[in-house]
Structure formats: structure tokens, C-alpha cells
Amino acid sequence: MKNLKNTILQGDALSVLKTLPNDFVDLGITSPPYNKKEKQKGWLVKNVLYHASSDKLPEADYQKQQIEVLNELYRITKTGGSFFYNHKIRWEKGELLHPFLWLNKTNWAIKQEIIWDRMIAANIRGWRFWQVEERIYWLYKPINNNKIGEELKSKHALLTSIWRFSPERDNPHPAPFPIKLPTRIIYSILDKKTHKTIIDPYAGSGTTLVASKLLNHNFIGIEIAEPYIDYANKRLHNAEDERLKIDKEINLHKVNKTFKERKAEGKFVGKFKKNVEKKIISKQNNLF
Ligand SMILES: C[S@@+](CC[C@H](N)C(=O)[O-])C[C@H]1O[C@@H](n2cnc3c(N)ncnc32)[C@H](O)[C@@H]1O
């Protein structure tokens, strides 16, 4: 098998994943196609149309495919590894389709549901309140059936289960996420000192891969559309141009003191306090 490190493999995610070995990935991050079947009417932002895939499967087939993809990702991930899966609640003919419907049928333990407050909604029609949020599921591959896993390191003390930042606007791909998203995850989950392997099976414009590279990790991308691979490779080549964005994101929630030290000082312990949120907002205002 050819060297898998720091490459983007072209093809269908499920077919390519099936060719990869067991237990070699440390972390995964992705946003799959959402199977939204959007029509023009009522949409505030431009429709998401991918170059090489239709995003219009019958819903049952879509969910089955996502379960298979997620189980392949589970197989290739080391025990103790994590996968972050960005998706959203959708409706079909008034029927709510929650990602939990299929996530719960995979092998992964669902460690947390994170709300991504994008502060903007796509649909201007008034069937329900403005949907400004998407979800990010932290999935975990347990060691010896222990679904709790390890305690987080101190550097996450300012992060809550609601992540508030806007969608990406400065990218020609039809549905990229901002580099803040994978940066926050990689910085929070992986130790900076060792080179780990990060996968994105729907790599698109390569946002996860660029963040991985800048944070000194190895990456593997899978993507079906050649133009997006070309664009992602250009981004990877010029990755240093995005260094500032990464540094800004890390500075937002960097905490040097351990939980123990902060506890001894009576700071940031117990339930999440309003002043922590204020601190993040004031940091954001100073930096952006
Ligand atoms: C939501 S986008 C990912 C965007 C990416 N996170 C970024 O920041 O650019 C989903 C991507 O999946 C790709 N895709 C669609 N079907 C696929 C399949 N069966 N296998 C692999 N990639 C696929 C699309 O071409 C698209 O680039």
C-alpha cells in the first residue's frame, strides 16, 4: 500500500475507507454532504451544489451509508481515538431528521453533542424559528469498553458545549467550515508534541488538513471531486498564509494553569460561570 501520510485520496469515502488498515488514525473531523435536496425557493444563501455528487439520496439510503462510513472510521481509528462529526437537524415533509437517528446505530460512543451557533440562518421562510445552529458530535472509541475515557487537559477550561462563530465566507468551495473548527478540536484533543494522524473523509477544500499541517500533525483526506482536491492541495502548499488564523483561535481559549492550580485559587471550578463567557467574548473583541 502506498504511503498514506499527508495525502488526499480521490474517491468515494466508503470505498476508500474500506481499503485502509485497522487502528491507525488518532483523530477524525468531518462535515459530510447533508443530503439536503434543497430547492431554490426560500433560501437566503446560495444552494449547496457539489461538483461530483448529487446530495439527493433517499433518506434511508443516506442514513445507511453514513452508518457504514462511520463504522469504517471506527475500525481504522485507534482505541481511545475520537471523531468529530459536523451535521445538522433537517426536516423532510415536516418530519424531523436528527443525526442521533443514525449516530446511535454506529459502533461509536457519543461523548458529547456540541452546538455550533453560526449566528446566521439559511432559510428565510417562516415554518419555524430561525435555525442558526449546527451540531458537532464528539464520538469516542472506548478502551476496554470504558466509554468515559481520559479527562481533558487544562487547556480547554474556557470551552463550553456551545461554540459560537460564523460560517466561512472566504473560500470558493460550496460548503466549507471555518478553520477555527478543526483548529479548536485538534488543539483540544491532541498533544502538540507528537505527530498524530488526522483523517477527514469528506475533505472538500482541505480545511481540516491545513489545520492539521499547521498544528504539526499528519493528515489523510478523502474527497470525490478533483477540483476541490486541487484547491485543497494549493491551500496545503500555502498553509503558512493561514497561520495567523490558527494562532488567533488558540489564543482565545489558552489556559496555562492546570485544573488543580485553578482549584487551589478558587477559579473556574464547579459549574460554568457567566464571567468565563464574558472573558471569551472580550478576548474575541480584542482579537478580531
Ligand atoms: C460539506 S463538504 C466538506 C467541506 C470541508 N469541511 C471544507 O471545509 O472544505 C462535503 C464534501 O464531500 C464531498 N463528497 C460528496 N460525496 C462524497 C463521497 N461519496 N465521497 C467522498 N467525498 C464526497 C463533496 O465533494 C464535498 O467537498
How many whole angstroms from 33 Cα to the centroid of ligand 1? 6
Single-letter amino acid code for the residue at 286: N
Residue 171 is assigned to a structural domain of this protein: yes
Same structural domain, 59 and 188: yes
pLDDT number for residue 38? 62
**Cα separation of 171 and 286, whole Å?**
25
Rounded to a whole number of angstroms, the CA Rg of the chain reads 19
Determine whether the shortest distance from the Cβ of 173 to ligand 1 is under 6 A: yes
| Pair type for strands 162-164 and 197-200 | unpaired
Same structural domain, 250 and 261: no
Same structural domain, 243 and 277: no
Is the Cβ–Cβ distance between 139 and 70 less than 8 Å? yes
Place of cell 493561514: 242
Q: Which residues contact 41 (CB under 8 A, 6 or more apart)?
A: 125
Same structural domain, 216 and 270: no
Its domain, for residue 51, covers 7-255
**Cα separation of 160 and 163, whole Å?**
7
The total of structural domains in the chain comes to 2
Determine whether the shortest distance from the Cβ of 222 to ligand 1 is under 6 A: yes
**Cα separation of 186 and 221, whole Å?**
15
Same structural domain, 75 and 104: yes
pLDDT number for residue 271? 46
Same structural domain, 75 and 26: yes
- Nearest 5°: phi and psi at 188? -75, -35
Residues of the chain with pLDDT under 70: 1-2, 37-48, 51-55, 124, 153-157, 258-259, 267-288
Residue 1 is assigned to a structural domain of this protein: no
Q: How far is CA 121 from the centre of its chain?
A: 19
Q: Could you tell which of 55, 185, 224 is best to mutate to test the pocket of ligand 1, judged by most ligand atoms within 8 Å of the CB?
A: 224
Same structural domain, 85 and 166: yes
Task: Give the global pTM.
Answer: 0.90
Same structural domain, 228 and 288: no
Same structural domain, 186 and 276: no
Residue 266 is assigned to a structural domain of this protein: yes
Residue 264 is assigned to a structural domain of this protein: yes
Residue 17 is assigned to a structural domain of this protein: yes
Same structural domain, 195 and 278: no
Same structural domain, 184 and 277: no
**Cα separation of 138 and 2, whole Å?**
30
Determine whether the shortest distance from the Cβ of 196 to ligand 1 is under 6 A: no
- What CATH number corresponds to the domain at position 65? 3.40.50.150
Residue 2 is assigned to a structural domain of this protein: no
Q: What is the pLDDT of residues 237-275, one digit of tens each?
A: 999 999 999 999 988 877 777 667 777 887 655 444 555
Residue 52 is assigned to a structural domain of this protein: yes
Determine whether the shortest distance from the Cβ of 225 to ligand 1 is under 6 A: yes
pLDDT number for residue 287? 43
Residue 47 is assigned to a structural domain of this protein: yes
Same structural domain, 113 and 36: yes
pLDDT number for residue 39? 56
How many whole angstroms from 57 Cα to the centroid of ligand 1? 15
Residue nearest to atom 19 of ligand 1 (CA): 12
- Write the DSSP symbol of residue 179: T
Q: Could you tell which of 8, 35, 48, 223 is best to mutate to test the pocket of ligand 1, judged by most ligand atoms within 8 Å of the CB?
A: 223
